[in-house]
Amino acid sequence: KVKPQLEEKEGKTFDVFTAVEFKTQVVAGTNYFIKVHVGNNEFMHLRVFRSLPHENKPLSLHSYQTSKAKHDELAFF
């Protein structure tokens, strides 16, 4: 659900977009930190926010990090 948001921010499309690892952080909602394979040996780390159910808001791409490798640790950011 956040792929189009990332593509718009990056100004390109991703043929490969596969989540390979994730961590969660409970706040006033949930932050998801997701390592995504975007093709070749390229990875990105995404921070996606899911609001509380009663707020009825869609998932939102909060921030992301580019130029990551498969072995890079997925950390909170």
Q: What whole-number distance in Å separates Cα of residue 45 and Cα of residue 22?
A: 9
Q: For 20-46, how does the pLDDT look when each residue is reduced to its tens digit (9 = 90+)?
A: 999 999 988 999 999 999 988 899 999
Residue 77: inside a domain: no
Residue 73: inside a domain: no
pTM: 0.82
Q: What whole-number distance in Å separates Cα of residue 63 and Cα of residue 44?
A: 11
Residue 76: inside a domain: no
- Number of domains present in the structure of the chain: 1
Residue 75: inside a domain: no
Q: What are phi and psi of 57, to 5 degrees?
A: -110, 150
Residue 12: inside a domain: yes
- Which range of residues forms the domain containing residue 40? 1-68
Q: What is the pLDDT of residue 48?
A: 94
Q: Which two tokens stand for residue 25?
A: 């952080």
